[in-house]
A and B are shown apart, each in its own frame.
Chain A
């Protein structure tokens, strides 16, 4: 490798690390939002149940929990992927070479990134439409568009995280991959 190539490589490495750090922080933030949303829903339903016991149920409780569910589901999506939470059938893993396993992992992440990018794109379009049509929940009329934008944001973060991981693995040599992969597991 020439000095120029070396410099270029280390510049890319540093940039990638910086971006990964930022994305990791955003993943932590989104998971915190998801976790807080879950705790909020538990409290909300408990208040509703207790209120009903005293003849004063919470109006629109279901509407609120319905919209909060979006944050619970997609808030934890990027963290779930980062922790390797997506189920895969690995019966042939030992039959594949390390190189093939590496490329299969990369393919999986790229496919995931494409799917989550698709979700982001269609969700932004859907949110714009929902905003235009003033779509809202049935009982207390919570507008749906902000939650669709939020979902789009979480999906974009998940897509970015997968893409970054794929790029990192493409750029790292086989040995390094194996080590990183094992550490991750």
Chain B
């Protein structure tokens, strides 16, 4: 049996295991270990298990994962997300579709505190859905806005998606964080424009909210000051080179704790809950990452990535044709696979192809993370849609999926814009970290 055939059988076995509900990490571990054992002997597989497990678990750069998760958890526990929504509400809530737009802006703000899309959707959903219901917003629009807005969590830094991409492809976390800023803001603006257009065409979808005075606007902004300060110090610290991403994450977690205690919103119990939540989420992420480091050698030994690269280049479609095929694969896979698992599974295969075609790895990273975002709201496994459903149990799942569709199309437009104008992604990292 040829190495390539063993590789293909391994990938098929992996998909079968995944569809049989075997946890993603265990499936990847099993296929990687068995594959390496077949191709290079059981001894090689076992030594890989020992070395990779300890190397990944003691990787200094990966400390950002638990630290940023902790920062987000503390922000949730202390109700800082509510303050963000209140500020956005006070500023733009009175315009047509303003509450949905405020949700998107609130999600973007929260995304700058927390690298998780699910956490963003859940937190903002709890805060905003009841308000939108009170003002007779269409349930499709309101739930769609929350689910789509939540996805900004993995595009706007700090983002767990970028950290994992950086580790898998040996890219700079700082550059990726910088690269995500403009696309994140652009997507946020595109979402707001979409909501405004929808509300203008069909006013019954999103009636205008109550007018707010300048005093209320000021109060709203004042309430969000601690969060804005944390974002400014942590993310700004990375961009100006004052902090490394790891230090920024620790400073952010420290500041969130400090503000929480000062505002009397953070008790010892809630702090402990946030910390324990951070270590369990970290365990989930890190186990998949360790498993990925078992799968990568198997795929390399089977020569699948190089064979696929040769096949794609032989199609004579040009670099952009190949890129579009790869992105299309992500969109299809996103309908069935959890985004993080998809990243881990596909990167060893697609990344060598992308670099051999001469594309910028940072630019490709942002495109991939955006397609992962789309997967979060794609039927049938749109995780964010299920999260919103858990917060809005009375809205049928079908309506939420219909509600997110316009946002999904806007994301597609954003991807096309970034493919056509790579400077949207690369301007900031090139200007600040060259």
Contact = CB atoms under 8 A, between A and B. Distances in A.
Describe B's contact surface by its main secondary structure. Answer: helix
A79 interface: yes
Nearest to B22: A108
A93 interface: yes
Interface string A78-102: 0110010111111111001000010
A23 to B, nearest CB: 17
Contacts of B381: 89, 91
Contacts, number: 174
Given A87-B23, A89-B336, A73 B46 contact: no
B63 interface: yes
B246 interface: yes
Given A41-B67, A42-B253, A69-B59, A85 B53 contact: no
A46 B57 contact: no
Contact of B243 (A41, A49, A122, A148): A49
Given A38-B278, A46-B254, A67-B58, A93 B21 contact: yes
A48 interface: yes
A125 to B, nearest CB: 7
B115 interface: no
Interface string B47-79: 101110110011110110011001000000000
A41 B19 contact: no
Nearest to A47: B250
A86 B63 contact: no
Nearest to B381: A91
A169 interface: no
Interface of A: 31, 34-35, 38-39, 41-42, 45-46, 48-49, 62, 65-67, 69-70, 72-77, 79-80, 83, 85-93, 96, 101, 104-105, 107-108, 111-112, 115, 118-119, 121-123, 125-126, 144, 147-148, 151
Interface of B: 18-26, 29-30, 33, 46-47, 49-51, 53-54, 57-60, 62-63, 66-67, 70, 243, 246-247, 250-251, 253-254, 272, 275-276, 278-284, 286-288, 336-338, 340-341, 380-381
17 contacts: A35-B272, A38-B279, A41-B66, A42-B70, A42-B250, A66-B58, A69-B58, A76-B282, A86-B24, A86-B26, A86-B284, A87-B284, A87-B338, A96-B21, A119-B53, A126-B54, A151-B57
